[in-house]
Structure 1
């Protein structure tokens, strides 16, 4: 899935003094191991199950607490899946969060979603 249509127009398009022209190239994406690939594929299947079961109940995605910046990050189901597919392709992930001020009550933790799906499955 490509989210480019959701991005604002580049205010520096065709500008020879574009500040981004002074940035260095991104580091190449590290290849993932077979074990990492299998784990991501399992997680991607879980995201599909989470979405199928939780989205009709008003849950839009997953929330993670980031230890680096010490804030919560909110990932819609489609964006979370797109990030995982990008990792499987060994490419840079697209923009990864919804707009400003997400409805925090519409997101659950990974562990909550996993427990919920286990309950639905009767595990």
Structure 2
């Protein structure tokens, strides 16, 4: 899924003094190993199942505590799937902006989502 249409216009578009023009090009995505590819496909299937089962129950996605900034990050199911799909196709994850003032009660930790699916299926 392409989120470009949802992004605000670049304030430096068409500006010859765009600060980003001084940055080095991004490193290409590192290809996944066969094991990483298999794990990503497995996780992508889980994300899609979570979206199907949990989204109608008001769970918009997952939350993670970022170890770099020590702040909770909230990811919608679609963003999770897009990031995984990008990895599978050898691309960098698409840039996305966090939602302004996310409804934090509508996001659950990954382990909670897995436990919900396991309990539902009696796994």
Scaled to the shorter chain, the TM-score interval is over 0.9
1:44-59 counterparts in 2 under 5 A? 44-59=44-59
TM-score, normalisation: structure 2: 0.96
Task: Mark the runs of 5 or more structure 1 residues left unpaired by the alignment.
Answer: none
Distance 1:97 1:116, change over 3 A: farther
State how far apart, in whole Å, the 2-side matches of 1:121 and 1:96 are.
33
Q: Which 4+ residue blocks in structure 1 deviate beyond 6 angstroms?
A: none
Cα deviation, residue 99, structure 1: 1.7
In the alignment, what sits opposite 1:17? 17
Cα deviation, residue 96, structure 1: 3.9
Secondary structure, counterpart of 2:72 in structure 1: strand
State how far apart, in whole Å, the 2-side matches of 1:96 and 1:45 are.
21
Task: Mark the runs of 5 or more structure 2 residues left unpaired by the alignment.
Answer: none
In the alignment, what sits opposite 2:38? 38
Cα deviation, residue 97, structure 1: 4.8
In the alignment, what sits opposite 2:84? 84
1:108-123 counterparts in 2 under 5 A? 108-123=108-123
Aligned residues: 123
Secondary structure, counterpart of 1:78 in structure 2: helix
- CA-based RMSD of the aligned residues comes to 1.0
TM-score, normalisation: structure 1: 0.96
Cα deviation, residue 44, structure 1: 0.2
State how far apart, in whole Å, the 1-side matches of 2:95 and 2:72 are.
16
State how far apart, in whole Å, the 1-side matches of 2:27 and 2:88 are.
17
